[in-house]
Structure 1
């Protein structure tokens, strides 16, 4: 089950151009996106209300879209405004619309109750287009359940083993127990690895005279948003006390958007605030991240195949699983609350209160 009443990343802004139609499935629902004549985003269910044909294989007609099966035309509000051979268009002839917002180059969509779509709930990803930071756009499609990717992002102890030649660094990184704090909608993870070897991707963009102090501090919140302050500085330079002279810093922005129960959209960028006038540095960082995330996809896809063969398999929890266990609990709690609210609305009863 998926959370409905939350903002999901649906696309990078460049994916939905001034012309044409763009389709992407979000939590099992096909969504059609396009821009009207004034550049405003439109998001409709990508399924004609007549016979269920996808509107994305239709055509644009001004600010409307026409289904190319039987010719019904829909305006940006989802209403059918023309139906060939129909003297009267039934009022129920419409398709569902979704609140959609554009913030810092990510397009966000609200799949639940439109009345609850508060733009103030959209996470701050200002580094994606901030003039003092540089990054490249990233997208990977996974054929796995999104929670398996969330598990991976919530436990960085895998870095030296899955990413030994990219993001990982030395194996002492895996021996560090991070600090995990509960947030109302997720967790906050703080990990410091002192006097360690700089990882390969950092060596490509700067020479290091010796070991470094390395940090990863990030919030991982519903529905699957990772916002991270990370970097490294010469060992003993005081980075842990807030002194970041001589450091390299990043503000990772990552978003998991479930496509179906067994597939996921993964959006990411790794903004940096050094050498921003050197595009080759940005390209090097991006390529290292892409290579590492492909390594993640390989192991998580193998994990998904293994688990699909044993539906009753019980994972053995370890102490390093604290963050991912807490996040899965937050997800399950939110899904349960929405189910209770839906059931109460159907019966007119008041939903039961769930303890925090």
Structure 2
């Protein structure tokens, strides 16, 4: 089960062009996306209403798509406007379309009720195209359930063990106790490690000459969006009190979008605001993140395979699980709310009461 009434990241902006067709499955629904000649993005179900063939193997004809099984042609609204050898086209011959918004390099899609798709609910990822920040686009495909990736991102104590040569750092980082706060539709995690060794990726971009004070402060909100303020500064200068002089700073943007129950799309970038005129620094940071996320994928994929062999396995909770337990509870609550709403919408309206006829007058 997946949350429907929420904005999911469906693609990077450059993945969609005015020439071709782009297909991606989102929460179990095949979606076809393309740009009209004016650049506007269209998102529709990638399934012809006639015999269910994928429209993504069809043909662009201007701002329309033709199914190459029996030749039905659909306009950008999803309406069938042409059917060879059939003059009259049923009005119900159409495919579902989805609200879609491009903002700060990410293409967001709403898979639920269209009338609830408020663009104001889209998280702010301004650093992805801010000229004062630099990053490279990232995408990884996982063959795991998306909640296992959420668990991983909600507990950074794994960094020294899973990422010792990339994002990790010394073992004392794992011992740093995070502060976990409930926020609207998610949680906020604040973790400080004072007087710690800089991780390898930070050593590659700056000669520190000493230990650092390191922070990771991030919001993790529905459906699975991580927006993070992170960095490190020379130890003892008061970074925890707001003095970030000499620091390196990042604004991590990560979006986890379920593909199916056992596969996931992972979009990410790690914008930085230093050495922005040095592309080699941006490449170094990006590669360290890619390497680290590949390490995450290895351990989480192994975890998924292990769990698949023991469907009744019960995970044991530890103190470090506070954030992930809270987020899973938020997901469960939203799913329950949507199930109640769907059941109410499917319930037939009560029949109108008919007044009884008046009794005949008595003689």
Smaller-chain TM-score bracket: over 0.9
Q: Secondary structure at the match of 2:217?
A: strand
Provide the residue aligned with 1:229 in structure 2.
Answer: 229
Question: What CA deviation, in whole Å up to 9, does each residue of 1:13-52 have, x standing for no partner?
Answer: 0000121100000000000000011010000100000000
Provide the residue aligned with 1:31 in structure 2.
Answer: 31
Question: What CA deviation, in whole Å up to 9, does each residue of 1:297-336 have, x standing for no partner?
Answer: 0000000000000000000000000000000000000000
Question: What CA deviation, in whole Å up to 9, does each residue of 1:236-274 have, x standing for no partner?
Answer: 011000000000000000000000000000000000000
The CA distance in 1 between the partners of 2:72 and 2:209, in whole Å, is: 67
The CA distance in 2 between the partners of 1:104 and 1:290, in whole Å, is: 21
Unaligned segments of structure 1, at least 5 residues: 351-356
> Per the alignment, do residues 349 and 238 of structure 1 end up closer, same or farther by CA in structure 2, a change over 3 Å counting?
farther
The CA distance in 2 between the partners of 1:294 and 1:86, in whole Å, is: 52
- C-alpha deviation, 1:348, in angstroms: 5.2
Provide the residue aligned with 1:238 in structure 2.
Answer: 238
- Which of these two proteins has the greater Rg computed from alpha carbons? 2
Question: What CA deviation, in whole Å up to 9, does each residue of 1:193-249 have, x standing for no partner?
Answer: 000000000000000110000000000000000000000000001100000000000
Provide the residue aligned with 2:259 in structure 1.
Answer: 259
- C-alpha deviation, 1:288, in angstroms: 0.1
- C-alpha deviation, 1:153, in angstroms: 0.1
The CA distance in 1 between the partners of 2:186 and 2:312, in whole Å, is: 27
Q: Does 1:177 align with 2:180?
A: no
Return structure 1 stretches of 4+ with deviation > 6 angstroms.
none
- C-alpha deviation, 1:184, in angstroms: 2.1
The CA distance in 2 between the partners of 1:87 and 1:215, in whole Å, is: 66
- Give the number of aligned pairs: 350
Q: Secondary structure at the match of 2:244?
A: coil
The CA distance in 1 between the partners of 2:276 and 2:37, in whole Å, is: 35
The CA distance in 1 between the partners of 2:324 and 2:349, in whole Å, is: 34
The CA distance in 2 between the partners of 1:349 and 1:7, in whole Å, is: 30
- C-alpha deviation, 1:282, in angstroms: 0.1
- C-alpha deviation, 1:349, in angstroms: 7.8
Q: Does 1:122 align with 2:136?
A: no
Provide the residue aligned with 1:249 in structure 2.
Answer: 249
Alignment map for 1:279-318 (pairs within 5 Å): 279-318=279-318
The CA distance in 2 between the partners of 1:262 and 1:320, in whole Å, is: 25
Unaligned segments of structure 2, at least 5 residues: 351-363
TM-score (norm 2): 0.96
Q: Give me the CA root mean square deviation.
A: 0.9
Question: What CA deviation, in whole Å up to 9, does each residue of 1:122-174 have, x standing for no partner?
Answer: 00000000000000000000000000000000000000000000000000000
